[in-house]
Structure 1
Amino acid sequence: MNKWQKITNKIALIVVLMLSSCSVMFAQSKKSNPFYYTELSEQADYKHIDFSSEYKEWLIPDSSERFEDITHELLGNGYTFERALFNSERFTYEDMNGKPLYYKETSFNGILGDKYARIEIFIHPEVERMDSLTFKVNGKSKVEENICDFTGEIHIEHIYNVWERVNDPDSPNYYVMVCNYLFTEDKAQYGTGFFKGTYGAYCYIDKANKMIRLDIDVGGGEFNKRNYVGIWQSYKTKAVKRCVWGDYRMPYTFDFDIGSEDMRINPKYNSPEWEQWQYEMHNPKEKNRWWKTLRKEVSHETDR
């Protein structure tokens, strides 16, 4: 083997090692999907309570994606925010032709604690803008028959424009809004505490009307458009419980959701409340509008 052939071989070896190193780095930058148990169980501890930081990291684009933080650009150009980004109203198409579009007052569905008790969250349609990136909300939470009132704030940290295919500038873009939230329940009511964590929502930019709107098309049926990932902490006992809620499928619930395409509750976590959820999924017009009823005083020996 002559001198130049040896040099050529060394160069080839260095290139192979560099490419291998880059492949490893790229693989590490790819994020495991927190909505599916099989992927989630490989990279997270089910005993962990607060996944708000992990969810924020999952929402924020990384080096494997082409993205742009457009938060201050939108504010500088006078864009406003659609209220459905901050309340629990849901967009629904009136007919199969997709017109017209209207709001539907509803509640979010979620889990509370390591036994995955069902919690429902209703955020009133009225939303108050406190400053350029902070919004005040109020609503109600429900666990079994206990309904509590809360007030809170949602603060926008970033709005990212993400290109799905880096090498195709003409591919459809999507936008993700990353926020933090703090909701405090009424201390005078039974079994109350506070919620805090990370809120993520998919949105789109309505340039014609200079408005940031909730995107109802991104993600398909298996992903929801709005998710709250964090904790609930009791005022009385100081107990901290995982609390996640959203439009449909929820992240960081491990073996609770064992569905492959659609959300399906693991039978070991079944309860009358989850049976009610399944019934309402098949009969949406018969959903219990519990937030419309007067609050009942509930007396229990234990907290939530």
Structure 2
Amino acid sequence: MNGQELTDENKIDSYLKYNFSDLWLQTDEQFVYGIIGEEYEKISIKIISVSKNLSQPNEYYVYGKSMVEANVCEFVGKISITKIQEAKNQRFGVDDEYKGKTDKQGFLTAEYEFYENNKQSHSGVFKGQLQTKWYLTDSAMKYNDLDSVSDGYFNNAFVGIWKMYNSKLEKICHWGDYRVPNVDCDFDIGTAEFNVDAEKYSGKGWLDVILKNRMPHGGEVIQNKSDEPVKHWWE
């Protein structure tokens, strides 16, 4: 991920004592982009809480919500870490800003299963593989965003499928932080940041992203002018 070279050895046993929960809770929802189906319809995913299974330290219980168009479903499930690799050469951001502030950097691979509430409409199960970049500092596991200002940066790549309950209907479903992983090269046309082709994808739920990238400095499409707090779709 992001071209960082890794060691071959799986060091999962050395790292299970650490808590990785926060790595999947760091990124603002507006920068988590996802697709569902071969036509790359937009799906929004919000992971709301993550807790470590103390009896199985490679497992994490997850609660969150998904949204396609106006259809919102809650889900529960787990992330199971299967591999942890260390980076051969650490990166320290622009002009080595973070040099000396990390002990180790690396990459984890996991399997995930998230089950939507079967009492809600158009519900099913998400399954696939997750890859996450991390760094260790002062015996604490941190989300690796040290290179987040670089073009093409992304993290927390979820790559898999969504399958509807009691049906043969199955769709590809990928999402990630700042970019969508494993998609056709002509889908993400952004250089410095994620963007999609307006003519091809505006009708697939991506109009907000298209408009945002057309505004100066990536400004908000709609500003809240009232004193009332904005209610997010997952609340």
| Percent of aligned positions that are identical | 29
CA radius of gyration, larger in: 1
After TM superposition, give the deviation of residue 66 of structure 1 in Å: 4.1
Return closer, same or farther for 1:162/1:135 CA change in 2, 3 Å cut-off: same
Q: Please state if 1:214 is matched with 2:140.
A: no
CA pair 251-80 structure 1, distance change in 2 beyond 3 A: closer
Distance, in Å, in 1 between the alignment partners of 2:212 and 2:72 is 19
Find 2:22's aligned residue among 74, 77, 84.
84
Instruction: Tell me, yes or no, if structure 1 residue 204 matches structure 2 residue 140.
Output: no
Correspondence for 2:194 among 229, 238, 263: 263
Which residue pairs with 1:29 in the alignment?
A: none
Q: Which residue of 2 aligns with 1:120?
A: 44
Paired residue total = 209
Query: Does residue 87 of structure 2 align to residue 162 of structure 1?
Result: yes
| Matched residue type, 1:193 | G
Q: Is 1:72 the counterpart of 2:13 in the alignment?
A: yes
- Which 5+ residue runs of structure 2 have no aligned equivalent? 91-98, 224-229
Structure 2 residue aligned with 1:25: none
Maintained 8 Å contact 1:140/1:147: yes
1:176 aligns with 2:107: yes
Gaps of 5+ in 1: 1-32, 36-57, 91-103, 293-304
CA positional deviation for 1:221: 4.3
Q: Which has the higher helix share?
A: 1
Shift of 1:129: 1.2
Q: Aligned in 2, Cα 1:272/1:112: closer, same or farther, shift over 3 Å?
A: closer
Determine if contact 2:32/2:179 at 8 Å carries over to the other structure.
no
Deviation readout 1:71-108 (Å, 9 max, x if unpaired):
21123xx4333x32233x32xxxxxxxxxxxxx56673
Match of 1:129 in 2: 52
- Gap change, CA 1:106 and 1:250, over 3 Å in 2: closer
Higher strand share: 2
Asked whether the equivalents of residues 107 and 123 of structure 1 are also in contact (C-alpha less than 8 Å), the reply is no
How far residue 250 of structure 1 moved from its aligned partner, in angstroms, is 1.5
> Relative to 1, partners in 2 of residues 1:237 and 1:107: Cα closer, same or farther, differing over 3 Å?
farther
For residue 219 of structure 2, what is the aligned residue in structure 1? 283
1:261, distance to aligned residue in structure 2 (A) = 4.3
Q: Quick one: which amino acid aligns to residue 78 of structure 2?
A: E
Residues 242-253 of structure 1: pairs in structure 2 closer than 5 A: 242-253=172-183
Cα distance change, pair 227–288 in 1 and its aligned pair in 2 (3 A):
farther
CA RMSD of aligned residues (A): 3.0
Give the corresponding residue for 1:143.
68
Q: Say which SS state the counterpart of residue 204 (structure 1) adopts.
A: strand
Q: Could you tell me the TM-score, scaled by structure 2's length?
A: 0.77
Q: Secondary structure at the match of 1:69?
A: coil
Q: Is the 2:115–2:124 Cα contact (8 Å) retained in structure 1? A: yes
Distance (whole Å) between structure 2 residues aligned to residue 174 and residue 271 of structure 1: 40
Q: 1:135, 1:153 within 8 Å by CA — same for their partners in 2?
A: yes
Q: TM-score, normalised by structure 1?
A: 0.61
Asked whether the equivalents of residues 107 and 122 of structure 1 are also in contact (C-alpha less than 8 Å), the reply is: no
